[in-house]
C-alpha cells in the first residue's frame, strides 16, 4: 500500500506542478527540476508518515523480503539453479538476503531516479498536449544537447568520498553510500546517454536507434559502465565538441 502511495506521488505531483510553472513561461529544465523537487518532497513526506506510524517502510519491506527468501529457499527450482551450484541452503539464503537488503537500502535513491525520469517525460507529454491549444509553450531542448554542469563531477566526487568515510564509521553510512551510488550512477549515465543521442544524430542514425542503444546498455550493470564512462569523459574532456569536429 505504501509503495502504491509512493508511485502515485511520483506520478501525480509533477503532473500538478508542470502545467502551472509552464504557464509562467519558465525555462523547461527549471520546470522539470521543480516538478522533481515536488515529487522528492512528497516521497520524503510518505517516508516520515510511515515512520510515524510505528514501523518504517524499510523495516516493513525487510520483514516481507525475509519471509519471501525463506519461501524461495524451499523451492527446488531455486536450490538447483546453476547460479547457486555448490552452495548450501544457508549460503543461498544469505546471498538472496544480501541482494534484497541492497535493494531496500537503495530504495530512496531509486525512487528519486524514477521521479526525475517521470518529471522529464511528463513535461514532454504535457507540452505536446498544451501545444495543441491556443497558447505557445516552451519545449525541452533536444536530449542530444543536454549536459549537466561540468563542475558537478567534483561535487559528486566530494559527496562520494564523504559517504564512503561515513560508511566506515557509522551504521547509517552504508545506507547513505548505497543511495549516493544510485544517484551518482544516474547522473553520469544520463550524460552518457546524451552522448549516444548526439553521436546518432551526427551519424544520421534512424531516430529509434539511439534510444534503443541506451535502453540496451542501461539494462545490464556491465554495459551501464560504458554509459557512465562516456558521461564522465564528456564532462571532463568536452567529448561532444571533439566528436563534432572529427565526425564526418
Distance CA 31, CA 25 (A): 9
Residues 73 and 91: beta-carbon distance below 8 Å: no
Distance CA 183, CA 84 (A): 30
Residue 247's pLDDT is what? Answer: 61
Distance CA 70, CA 92 (A): 10
Place of cell 505504501: 2
Residues 188 and 232: beta-carbon distance below 8 Å: yes
Q: What is the pLDDT of residues 206-231, one digit of tens each?
A: 999 999 999 999 998 889 999 999 99
DSSP run (H or E) holding 159: helix 152-169
Residue 240 is placed in which grid cell?
561532444
* 33 pLDDT higher than 90: yes
C-alpha torsion sign, points 48, 157, 27, 130: negative
- Between 22 and 131, the more confident residue is 22
Distance CA 225, CA 185 (A): 9
* 233 pLDDT higher than 70: yes
Residue 182: partners with Cβ closer than 8 Å, 6 or more residues away? 106, 109, 110, 112, 113
Distance CA 202, CA 92 (A): 48
Residue 104 is placed in which grid cell?
531496500
Residues 149 and 191: beta-carbon distance below 8 Å: no
Residue 173: partners with Cβ closer than 8 Å, 6 or more residues away? 163, 165, 166, 167
Residue 5's pLDDT is what? Answer: 86
Q: What is the pLDDT of residues 120-167, one digit of tens each?
A: 999 999 998 888 765 678 889 999 999 999 888 888 889 888 888 877
Place of cell 516493513: 60
Amino acid at each position: 500500500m505504501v509503495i502504491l502511495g509512493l508511485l502515485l506521488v511520483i506520478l501525480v505531483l509533477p503532473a500538478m506542478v508542470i502545467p502551472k510553472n509552464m504557464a509562467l513561461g519558465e525555462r523547461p529544465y527549471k520546470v522539470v527540476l521543480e516538478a522533481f523537487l515536488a515529487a522528492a518532497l512528497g516521497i520524503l513526506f510518505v517516508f516520515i508518515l510511515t515512520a510515524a506510524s510505528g514501523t518504517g517502510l524499510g523495516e516493513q519491506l525487510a520483514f516481507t523480503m525475509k519471509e519471501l527468501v525463506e519461501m524461495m529457499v524451499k523451492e527446488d527450482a531455486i536450490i538447483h539453479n546453476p547460479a547457486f551450484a555448490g552452495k548450501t541452503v544457508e549460503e543461498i539464503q544469505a546471498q538472496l538476503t544480501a541482494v534484497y537488503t541492497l535493494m531496500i537500502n537503495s530504495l530512496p535513491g531509486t525512487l528519486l531516479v524514477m521521479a526525475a525520469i517521470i518529471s522529464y517525460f511528463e513535461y514532454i507529454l504535457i507540452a505536446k498536449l498544451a501545444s495543441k491549444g491556443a497558447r505557445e509553450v516552451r519545449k525541452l531542448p533536444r536530449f542530444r544537447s543536454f549536459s549537466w554542469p561540468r563542475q558537478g563531477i567534483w561535487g559528486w566526487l566530494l559527496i562520494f568520498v564523504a559517504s564512503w568515510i561515513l560508511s566506515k564509521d557509522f551504521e547509517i553510512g552504508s545506507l547513505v553510500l548505497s543511495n549516493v551510488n544510485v544517484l551518482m550512477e544516474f547522473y553520469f549515465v544520463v550524460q552518457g546517454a546524451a552522448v549516444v543521442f548526439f553521436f546518432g544524430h551526427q551519424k544520421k542514425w534512424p531516430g529509434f536507434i539511439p534510444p534503443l542503444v541506451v535502453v540496451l546498455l542501461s539494462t545490464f550493470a556491465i554495459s551501464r559502465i560504458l554509459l557512465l564512462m562516456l558521461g564522465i569523459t564528456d564532462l571532463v574532456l568536452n567529448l561532444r565538441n571533439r566528436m563534432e569536429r572529427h565526425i564526418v
